Chains A and B, each alone.
Chain A
């Protein structure tokens, strides 16, 4: 499964949706994922890819990790995987 599909699967599970219902331009808000759901998604992503995601809920805009939509999250995960490859 590609990074894209795995991230979509994680987000879909959190949103209690089918992966096919999650599109790249969906926002977390569109999918009904609140602030707690977001930190759960980030945790699942960190566990799935063995990466550390720099995200502080107090300043989401300051983070390098862009959560504005599903596509930006996937791009962020791909960047982190490349940066944190050991």
Chain B
């Protein structure tokens, strides 16, 4: 079994256009949630989100690219460029054949679907752009990253709703660990912030109209975000041989299914995923210093997640720090685990624990150290990242400090 390390990271989300800006915002506990801006927003009941503002794709992509790149593909490419540039890798020959891409997304090209359905149904047009299908397909982002970086090995997309990017990164980890790939570019991307995307979520009545307040007794729901996080997962020996800077080591992964309810989370399913990741990484519960929570800010998730952490970590649950960064960048759905992995890397590398902002009132059912409102300095060696999706699908990653 190979050791697997992260040698590059990239992102774009409501907190920043790159990793440095995002980590600075997380350290400062800044909130990236604001009034949504898109067509027909006035017909929505929910009008806030973690939207990437002031971003002009025409500045980055040319006309031919814009024809093919839905917003979720643009985000994935921007994050992948940053990650691969940091890694210093160039892919050709055997390395290109032994390296691939696995990305998570839930909605794929939802903006493209929304625009084109509007065009044919609302505006009555009988013609859509000829490249709508390759633009909206869920694997478009993975394919364009593969094409741009010349990654010619296993390349695919994983869709498990809010756990998509954790599942993607977990698979990438397993592929590098098993030796079947030398490098995997992995993470996730999402852009659901359009009229149809938010209208569908409104129907579930789990969205907050004012703020995301994970673990706080007065929380009233989730807030959607958008963006991407992409990483370079690399065989440790390969990274060491070329003298690459190592951001963190990926040491464990587990996935479980609740096999019970399509939307209500299960404590047992979540706890089995956490326990499984610890076992996979041969990690003792006492060694876990920080958990990046799924922490959606819904009544159902937060209390179930806290109970699952308490079950899985036992006495260590009273000492571990657990925070949800969704209060800052929103719930980036299929890309959320990838954006949140930045908080894990910051904890390991910089010794800074990202806070759970918006925390106002303790909840007896969420009685863990949720690092309320203000970032904290702490040295941690091992961290977990939780993702628990609709459909009862859970995916937990374990990371360790490099060196």
Residues of chain A at the chain B interface (Cβ within 8 Å): 35-36, 39, 42-43, 52, 55-59, 62
Contacts and interface: CB of A to CB of B under 8 A. Distances in A.
B375 interface: no
Given A35-B263, A35-B264, A36-B262, A59 B205 contact: no
B299 interface: yes
Interface size class for chain B? Answer: 10 to 19
B266 interface: no
- Among A39, A43, A55, A57, find the residue whose CB has the most chain B CB atoms closer than 10 A: A57
A43 B219 CA distance: 23
25 contacts: A35-B263, A35-B264, A36-B262, A39-B203, A39-B204, A39-B205, A52-B45, A56-B205, A56-B206, A56-B207, A56-B208, A56-B220, A57-B204, A57-B205, A57-B206, A57-B221, A57-B298, A58-B208, A58-B220, A58-B221, A58-B297, A58-B299, A58-B300, A59-B220, A59-B299
Interface of B: 45, 203-208, 219-221, 262-264, 297-300
Nearest to B262: A36
B262 A58 contact: no
A62 B220 contact: yes
A45 to B, nearest CB: 13
B327 to A, nearest CB: 14
A36 B263 contact: yes
Given A39-B205, A42-B205, A58 B219 contact: yes
Contacts of A36: 262-263
Contacts of B264: 35
B42 to A, nearest CB: 14
Contact of A58 (B203, B206, B263): B206
Nearest to B221: A58
Contacts of B205: 39, 42, 55-57
Nearest to A59: B220
A14 to B, nearest CB: 15
B203 A57 contact: no
A80 B5 CA distance: 58
Nearest to B218: A59
A56 B204 contact: no
A58 B216 CA distance: 12
Contacts of A59: 220, 299
A56 B213 CA distance: 15
Contacts of B206: 56-58
A33 to B, nearest CB: 14
Given A36-B263, A58-B208, A58-B298, A43 B203 contact: yes
Nearest to A36: B263
B264 to A, nearest CB: 7
Given A42-B205, A58-B208, 18 more contacts: A36-B262, A36-B263, A39-B205, A43-B203, A52-B45, A56-B205, A56-B206, A56-B207, A56-B220, A56-B221, A57-B204, A57-B205, A57-B206, A57-B221, A58-B220, A58-B297, A58-B298, A58-B299
